[in-house]
Structure 1
Amino acid sequence: MLKLLRPAVTRLLTPLGRALVRRGIGPDAVTAIGTLGTVVSALFFFPMGLLTAGALVITVFVLFDLLDGVVARLGGGGGSTWGAFLDSTLDRVADAAIFSGLILYFIADGDALLAGVTLFALVAGLLVSYAKARAEGLGLTCDVGLAERPERLVVVLVAACFSGLGVPYLLAAGMWLLAAAGAVTVVQRVVHVHRQTRER
């Protein structure tokens, strides 16, 4: 579903991308701004318990992940290899900030269990990304799995947003779901890579 929505969102962001290109702003700058905004928002709003505000502001900055691609295609400069590396690296920084902000929120709320579950979800998400990067570095494919980054972001931001609006148990359910889905995805990718290595 998210892959089907991506072209539509990209079309909506194209006018803004053109405006940035005209002002000499390249995709690398867009990537950096999006990451900085996500990190600051997550570590400011979430620990204070402002879950809805944090989720909404972070969502705006997450869209920069699509906008940098639009700017690059429209001629905003930036080497594609370097841009891809920078984008992937800063994605991990943004993810870590989002989950760290929630961990701090749970700790402040006295909920050690959910803090631990969220930490597990963070580590599992990082392993999902690492497994793919390592496999591709070895010349293998690894585009499999239940929960890739877009799905994880949707779950965590929707859960945080509606939890802040008073929907009970939603944030807890979201964290447990992400922890389980992350673990399953890591196993799926390990199995997928193992099968490829046996076929060689």
Structure 2
Amino acid sequence: MLSTNARGFARAVFGPAARLLVRLGVSPDAVTVTGTVLTATAALTLLPAGHLTAGALVLGALVVADNLDGQMARLAGTESRWGAFLDSTMDRFADAAIFAGVGVWALRHLDGALGNLTAGLALVCLVLGSVVPYAKARAESLGMTANVGLAERADRIVVVLAAVLLAGLGLPTQVLTVALALLALASAYTVFQRMRTVYVQARGPHTAGTGAEDAR
């Protein structure tokens, strides 16, 4: 989920830890699951309690550290399809926890219509955040591609955590509401883009009959 520059930064920062954990015999899978548990715990405790600044900083650090398990797998020579599957699946749990934490915070700390609107937008972002990667994965399972879209996972997480941090530092909470609205629109548009891309490929001469029955 990290950009090229961020991956380089993460390798420099977490490289020593990755090498140490490999020498200690720690499994990359264990780090993947542990990272998800920590992320979910931080998101569902700090954010609902109103600790937005601390929550954003802790979650931001955990997001960057998400690179650690991949580094360990490469160092140990244990990269596998299972590891990639586990990592992607755990990412869905982590993302859901972050947006759920924001939604619960809104219901607890914002009044009336603003709280309901912000919580509703967080729920929409949570749902669409699962549909976006599913559309890509389903396309690939049918022998097509869907590598398009405005709202990749990195974009969604960076935007929501930046908005949470700004709200925690004292900016109007509407900043977070607006950020969620923009994320919801970008995610919906990304789903549309991917559906359109797959539709064009499916209508092409080389994909006729490829898994059509299973796609329903």
**TM-score in terms of structure 2 length:** 0.87
One-letter identity of the residue aligned with 1:91? D
> Are 1:64 and 2:69 counterparts?
no
Distance 1:10 1:143 in 2: 25
The counterpart of 1:187, out of the listed 180, 192, 197, is 192
Cα deviations by residue, 1:13-69 (Å, 9 ceiling, x for unpaired)? 211110111111121111111100000000001111111111111122222321111
Please, which runs of 5 or more residues in structure 1 have no aligned partner? none
Please, which runs of 5 or more residues in structure 2 have no aligned partner? 207-216
Larger radius of gyration: 2
CA RMSD of aligned residues (A): 1.5
Distance 2:135 2:147 in 1: 10
**Partner SS, residue 63 of structure 1:** helix
Distance 1:60 1:76 in 2: 26
Residue 46 of structure 1 is matched in structure 2 by 47
One-letter identity of the residue aligned with 2:199? H
Residue 99 of structure 2 is matched in structure 1 by 99
Residue 177 of structure 2 is matched in structure 1 by 172
1:103-114 alignment runs, 5 A limit: 103-109=103-109, 110=111, 111-114=115-118
1:6-155 alignment runs, 5 A limit: 6-75=7-76, 77=78, 80-109=80-109, 110=111, 111-155=115-159
CA contact (8 A) 2:150 2:186 kept: yes
Distance 1:60 1:4 in 2: 16
Distance 2:74 2:184 in 1: 35
Shift of residue 167, structure 1, vs aligned partner = 1.4
Calculate percent identity across the aligned residue pairs. 50
- Answer 1 or 2: which has greater helix percent: 1
Distance 2:73 2:6 in 1: 20
Count of aligned pairs: 199
**TM-score in terms of structure 1 length:** 0.94
**Partner SS, residue 50 of structure 2:** coil
**Partner SS, residue 148 of structure 2:** coil
